[in-house]
Amino acid sequence: MQHMGAKSETKALALFRQNKGVLRAREAVRLGIYSMTLNRLQNKGLIELISRGIYRLTGLEPLSHQDLVIISERVPGGVICLLSALAFHKMTTHNPREIFVAVPRGHLKTRIDWPPVHVFLFGDKAYSEGIETHILDGVSVKVYSREKTLVDCFKFRNRLGLDVFLEALKAYRGKSPIQVDKILYFAEICRVKRIIMPYIESIL
């Protein structure tokens, strides 16, 4: 019996490594790793629970974007947006207390205990356009591009504050390349092209 337990643990650890060291509990079960094995590995300090239902091998390099990785695992189809995307692109001095994530309208709500998350419903092209995929700590994380994020922050300026957009625009202006055509493309999609134009002209 003890031999079988050790065999199950060895198999489980191998599967964790094949999946970049991170597995959801339900995915682990699908792969043949049962809760008893997960509990033993956790008790031995070989894996850790980093969020509800998500386990990670211990001994790996510290997660550099842990919250973004967790949200990407917990919210399939979610795209890091607004303040969180600005922070990712180093275009803000604001330190958001929540992870801002966009999902398409009609998306089923996911209960998340940690980290704090603010979900925004984006429609049609406003959701699907401007998505970049970044590999963070071995996990694919979707983040809106710098240009799409600028437009989104302007669109939501009444909720975030115009100062957030202005600071981001200044940071964007200091980086290269400056792609005004992309900004205007996303502004057209988000229906703010006319009113954002005076601000965009300032970086031309």
| Stretch 127-156: mean pLDDT | 94
Q: Cβ distance 74 to 51 under 8 Å? A: yes
Instruction: Express each pLDDT in 101-126 by its tens digit.
Output: 999 987 766 666 667 788 899 988 99
Q: Residue 12's closest CA among 140, 44, 1, 69? A: 44
Instruction: Band the pLDDT of 64: cuts 50, 70, 90.
Output: low
Segment 53-81 shows an average pLDDT of 81
Contact (CB, 8 A) for 90 and 42: no
pTM higher than 0.75, yes or no?
Answer: no
Is the pLDDT assigned to residue 2 strictly greater than 50?
A: no
For residues 96, 99, 102 and 103, what is the CA-based torsion angle, rounded to 10 degrees?
-160
Q: Say whether pLDDT at 63 is over 70.
A: no
CATH number of 2-57: 1.10.10, 1.10.150, 3.30.1490, 1.10.8? 1.10.10
Domain with CATH 1.10.10 in the chain: 2-57
